A and B are shown apart, each in its own frame.
Chain A
């Protein structure tokens, strides 16, 4: 008998390994070199934590601390606001019945993903300057809320589409108010989707460089703009240490999101 496996193609496994190698090699190399006990970034001369010490207590520590504070507070506020707006929008779109402007509404909600980032950056800068809105912390926050909305919306609406509508309809048949039907019936089953939406929005906000760079004004920095400014002068070891910290933080968040997604699926099998 001929053995034939339609799933197997010669070389595909090798390419997959190559793919993972390409994805991780640069990150691993930078993480390794951030522990390098040498002023030169070329030679590896033993393990040390001196560059991490430099990030927290060195000459530029104050700058990094302010940038980190700005980044994290903006990301938390932008993700919270975007998640609330997106949750309402998802309920309106998925549980609001059919209505005439539905495709247009979907197009508007996904507009921040469709428009290239640099175009959003230009448009936002022009808008703020035309209405005389001063550039700084608040302008960054507003811009971040806008582009976080679709990233929060997608996992939330995907989750909502997987939940049977019969539950909240039953609750309403039993004279639960619309708010209580949401609060006690819909919200608990939506929770994993809302959490993934929040985390995705949070990471997207933390990640943003281009739009922030345009609307930040002089003097206000977030971690990406501070790192970019430093890298323009050459890659220094303290930047590699800072990058490694941010990298570990991102991996922590994605692992969290993965685990939340899994428990959510287990409770609600398709």
Chain B
């Protein structure tokens, strides 16, 4: 096991009362999150009760409904039900595009900040982190206000003569991608910044002495070294984007349904199908766990 705190020996001044120190957190999270998640797994195998809730009777109906269409009365031969698979596929695509957008803007930003003199770095970092502390709902609403059809952005572009007709951004796939990008951009900048800050620029200088071009240095020397930061940033953006609710709901409209809205509708909206909502949540959670598992494994490999 790795020693905590940069290779120093692990301090154990509080080891005798360790159990009492850890117990409150174990009990709180275990009782109010771990058990609920296990209960959710159980619920996904129960029978739905109309108008919310469940009947305690084993059933695979929730997962069946996810994959197959058996007609209105459930007695037609099953065909593949594309509705929900499409929603999950769309969520993966939207989250991927948002992650790429964050990387394209976030990497140069993180690089620029990390190469400032130490004194001004803190200020730049502060500027990038402030929006993260502002309420996500307010940020999403602000984005909606800005890009709406009669909004300030279209007014400005029309006024400046750049556009002839207002851009129809709201309720498009791009609006959702923009919203996700806007929500999680700081998550991309911070880990990449941390990686670039540790990068030894003597490596770049050595490569330049050997006549490597500027971009060749970036590709072959810098990127392999800062890769862990990039991967961490991508995961920090991709995972919350996948299950996001606010950006698709406020910016995407009904046509651009994502997993978050699908789940929400089972509990708060018209659908009222708790086992199906629990099953969809389980599928989302499994996808996230797979991503985190591969991440943890690649981390473990790096350290060997």
Interface residues of A (CB under 8 A from B): 4, 6-9, 11-13, 15-16, 18-20, 22-27, 29-30, 33, 41-42, 84-86, 88-89, 91-99, 102-103, 105, 108-109, 111-112, 114-120, 122-127, 129-130, 142-143, 145-146, 149, 153, 161-162, 165, 168-169, 172, 178, 181-182, 203, 206-207, 209-210, 213-214, 224, 227-228, 231, 235, 239-240, 243, 246-247, 250-251, 253-254, 258, 262
Q: How distant is the Cα of A13 from the Cα of B120 in the complex, in angstroms?
A: 14
Inter-chain contacts of B264 with A (CB < 8 A) = 118, 213
- Considering only residues 21-50 of chain B, those with a C-beta below 8 Å from chain A are 21-22, 24-26, 28-30, 32-37, 39-40, 43
Residue B268 interfacial (CB < 8 Å): yes
Residue B78 interfacial (CB < 8 Å): no
Q: How distant is the Cα of A97 from the Cα of B129 in the complex, in angstroms?
A: 34
Inter-chain contacts of A182 with B (CB < 8 A) = 14
**Which of A13, A115, A181, A258 has most chain B Cβ within 10 Å?**
A115
Instruction: Give, as a whole number of angstroms, the nearest-CB distance from B269 to chain A.
Output: 11
Given contacts A8-B115, A108-B25, contact A254 B129 (CB under 8 A): yes
Instruction: Give, as a whole number of angstroms, the nearest-CB distance from B112 to chain A.
Output: 4
Q: How distant is the Cα of A98 from the Cα of B9 in the complex, in angstroms?
A: 10
Contact for B136 among A178, A209, A239, CB less than 8 A: A209
Inter-chain contacts of A254 with B (CB < 8 A) = 126, 129-130, 133
**Which of A84, A96, A125, A142 has most chain B Cβ within 10 Å?**
A96
Residue B100 interfacial (CB < 8 Å): no
Inter-chain contacts of B259 with A (CB < 8 A) = 118
Instruction: Give, as a whole number of angstroms, the nearest-CB distance from A180 to chain B.
Output: 12
**Beta-carbon contact of B25 and A109 below 8 Å:** yes
Inter-chain contacts of B53 with A (CB < 8 A) = 129
Given contacts A111-B33, A115-B285, A235-B148, list 14 more A-B pairs with CB under 8 A. A20-B127, A20-B128, A96-B15, A98-B1, A102-B1, A108-B29, A116-B240, A118-B260, A119-B281, A130-B39, A146-B28, A209-B136, A235-B141, A240-B145
- Categorize the interface residue count of chain B: 35 or more
Q: How distant is the Cα of A207 from the Cα of B146 in the complex, in angstroms?
A: 21
**Beta-carbon contact of A96 and B39 below 8 Å:** no
Stretch at the interface among B69-77, B79-87, B101-109: B101-109
Main DSSP-derived SS at the B contact region:
helix
> How many residue pairs, one in A and one in B, have C-beta atoms under 8 Å apart?
286
Binary flags per residue of B267-290, CB closer than 8 Å to A gives 1, else 0: 110000010011001001100100
Q: How distant is the Cα of A172 from the Cα of B11 in the complex, in angstroms?
A: 13
Contact for A116 among B133, B150, B239, CB less than 8 A: B239
Across chains A and B, which 9 residue pairs bring their CB atoms closest together, nearest first? A97-B12, A92-B21, A6-B204, A165-B11, A116-B243, A127-B36, A96-B18, A26-B142, A123-B36
Residue of B nearest to A150 (CB): B29
Residue B163 interfacial (CB < 8 Å): no
Residue of A nearest to B142 (CB): A26
**Beta-carbon contact of A214 and B267 below 8 Å:** yes
Residue B4 interfacial (CB < 8 Å): yes
Instruction: Give, as a whole number of angstroms, the nearest-CB distance from A141 to chain B.
Output: 11
Contact for B24 among A33, A89, A96, CB less than 8 A: A89
Residue B237 interfacial (CB < 8 Å): no
Inter-chain contacts of A206 with B (CB < 8 A) = 135
A and B contact pairs by CB, cutoff 8 A, 18 listed: A16-B113, A19-B128, A20-B128, A23-B182, A26-B182, A33-B152, A89-B25, A116-B242, A117-B245, A118-B284, A127-B32, A127-B39, A142-B32, A149-B29, A224-B137, A231-B250, A239-B141, A243-B135
